[in-house]
Amino acid sequence: MTSKKINILKFTKFIGLCLLILCSVAYSLPRAETSSLQKNETIVKEIVIRPIENNDSLGDKIVSFGMRLLGTPYIVAGSGKNGFDCSGFVYFVFNHFKIQVPRSSSQFENYGKEIPIGSVKKGDILLFFSPTRNVIGHIGIVSNPKGMESDFIHATSGREMKVVVTSLKKPGYTSRFVKAIRVL
């Protein structure tokens, strides 16, 4: 026998063995019951996909993120983790959540929806007059809504010179308070 004939014999045996294995595997597989199905019917398994529950509102997330920045230094015109001014802080926090807001506190005067102070929620923005002029000169994010006693987180150029939480009832802020706005 030539080597060519031997190779053909080996190949034929190999194919036969493969067919035998395939047939036995196919025979042992579970069979679908199709006798009760009509011609164009299909069996579909019901799969329910539920979103991951997250009870935190966007306002809660904004405040939580802002709180992580407590103690960050106040820097004039700052808008990064190395330091913030008041509008740079608000801009940085909202931008983290892909929410566009103005970069300058004065630009907030006609921005967002004005809301009564008694209706503020976490994540709303408080606007204040500048200490020396009758224009919007300071802003902060409501962190604990309680009407005129709400707490807010902001970058202060006052004594602390950093990101802090302050109560709206603090005299220096109560007298300068202009309005609350909602951008969410």
Q: Would you list the domain boundaries of the chain?
A: 58-182
- Going by their DSSP bridges, the two strands 79-80 and 125-129 should be labelled as unpaired
Question: What are the residue numbers of the active site?
Answer: 86, 138, 154
Instruction: Return per-residue pLDDT of the chain as tens, 184 residues.
Output: 666 666 666 766 767 665 666 656 556 655 554 455 555 555 544 444 444 344 579 999 999 999 999 999 999 999 998 999 999 999 999 999 999 999 999 999 999 999 999 999 999 999 999 988 889 999 999 999 999 999 999 999 989 999 999 999 998 999 999 999 999 8
CATH fold of the domain at 58-182: endopeptidase fold (from Nostoc punctiforme) (3.90.1720)
> Residue 114: its pLDDT value, please?
98
Give residues with Cβ within 8 angstroms of 79, minimum separation 6. Answer: 85, 87, 88, 89, 91, 92, 103
Rounded to two decimals, what is the model's pTM?
A: 0.70
Measured distance CA(70)–CA(61) in Å, rounded: 15
> Residue 142: its pLDDT value, please?
99
